[in-house]
Amino acid sequence: MKTALSPLLAHLPALSPTSWGLVFALTAAVVLWLVSLRLKDASIVDIFWGPGIAGIVDIAAGMGHAAGPRTSAVLLLVNLWAIRLAAHVWARHQGEDHRYGAMRAKFGPNWWWLSLVQVFLLQAILIWFIPAPLVAAVLYSGVPMGWLDYAGVGIAAAALVFEAVADFQLGAFRADPANKGKVMDKGLWGLSRHPNYFGEAAMWWGFFIIGYAASHMWWLLLSPLLITVLLLKVSGVALMEGDIAERRPGYAAYKRQVSAFVPWFRKPG
């Protein structure tokens, strides 16, 4: 399946698809960093997370002349995910996120150049590496699809919907002024305290299955493992729950009753 990028990519110097993906990620990171200096807002990098990953896969598909149903499924899923996530983060963006604000205050006058390394270039490397299963899937597009591919597509699609529904439910809850200071514990949020993060992680495990089915490369496991660790220990669950109980008095009881990550039956309370 040819992509809109194919005619342009055909005239680029002879680097591998993965090398051009790295060039794209690093170049975008530097451009975004320069924009962030102008805006005094490093959190614009979060808006680029989804489109950046999709761009890596699109470049691999275009340069690899990928075709077939596996490529079509992968491109559809990753680009739908990227558009939805970017729109979601953009809609919630109201100036620099407090995480980056704390780093700005900590490093003071050195933040302008430290942010290039600690935020933008670091995320560029992650944006390049994490979609490795999807890049493998499109570069090995000539391998016929089997039951493992269909299982991976099904898991990834279901997880994408799960994540989107969780974000929608939370957004609707927060939009109601009557819920200010309250804990969202309905819908998917009654099964998991972080159903959106669970959906994100499950989607990447589905993507790994597709990539492995095409390439039989076990090292691609590093992608979903890294995403899961980041969501549980770094930028997701651990970060969100650091001080939320202080801001929402009902959260302590909610925490005792509802699973932190994997959806499960609610404990009596």
pLDDT means per 10 residues, the chain with 269 residues, are 57 78 97 97 96 98 93 98 97 89 92 95 98 97 95 98 98 94 94 97 98 97 97 86 75 92 91
What's the CA gap between 104 and 269, in Å, rounded? 41
Is there a single domain that holds both residue 56 and residue 86?
yes
What Rg value do the Cα atoms of the chain yield, rounded? 20
What sign for the dihedral angle of Cα 262, 131, 163, 230?
Answer: positive
Is there a single domain that holds both residue 84 and residue 5?
yes
pLDDT at 237: 87
pTM above 0.95, yes or no: no
pLDDT at 120: 97
Residue 79, Cβ neighbours under 10 Å: how many?
Answer: 18
Residue 68, Cβ neighbours under 10 Å: how many?
Answer: 16
Tokens of 248: 């929402």
User: What integer best gives the mean pLDDT of the chain?
Assistant: 92
Is there a single domain that holds both residue 100 and residue 154?
no
Is there a single domain that holds both residue 242 and residue 206?
yes
pLDDT at 225: 98
Last residue of a domain, one of 122, 142, 162: 142
**Using an 8 Å Cβ cutoff, are 119 and 45 in contact?**
yes
Is there a single domain that holds both residue 135 and residue 150?
no
Last residue of a domain, one of 91, 116, 142: 142
Is there a single domain that holds both residue 163 and residue 41?
no
Q: For 30-56, what is each residue's pLDDT tens digit?
A: 999 999 999 999 999 999 999 999 999
Q: Which domain holds residue 261?
A: 143-269
Q: By CB neighbour count within 10 A (0-12 exposed, 13-18 middle, 19+ buried), where does 56 fall? A: buried
